[in-house]
Amino acid sequence: MEQLSKKLTYIGAGIGLVLFAIVGLLPGSLLGGAMGLNIVGTLFGYPVTSGVLQRLIVAGSMLLGVLVAGIIFVMGCSVAGWLLGTAAEALTAPKKATEVKAKIK
């Protein structure tokens, strides 16, 4: 019985990965870069110069934004798939139990 929820979890993870690649990659990078520019502006002052440390902070925050977007997409779709699989198993379980009882008699 547990197989359906496991399969739907993997299918949900795959769908989440595709959705992330199509929809979430660019906005994650954009929002992370904006967050990094705000951090650099707060730490080093405005206007932001193009020093090595400033670039590293912006690049790290862009990477963080992409990672957070990926986690949200993949985990959200995985949980949705797992919930659908668990609900489907719960709906089909009473039928299977009565079939087993009928076979025993």
Q: How far apart are the first and last CA of the chain?
A: 23
φ/ψ bin of 45: left (φ > 0), alpha (ψ from -120 to 50), beta (otherwise): left
pLDDT at 95: 63
DSSP 22: I
The pTM score is 0.74
d(CA 93, CA 56): 54
How many structural domains compose the chain? Answer: 1
Q: What is the mean pLDDT of the chain?
A: 86
In this model, does residue 99 exceed pLDDT 80? no
Structural domain of 52: 2-104
What's the rounded mean pLDDT across residues 75-97? 83
Type of residue found at 95: K
Of the candidates 6, 7, 4, 11, the one whose C-alpha atom is nearest the C-alpha of residue 74 is 11
Residue 1 has pLDDT above 80, yes or no: no
Query: In the predicted model, what is the mean pLDDT of residues 55-64?
Result: 93
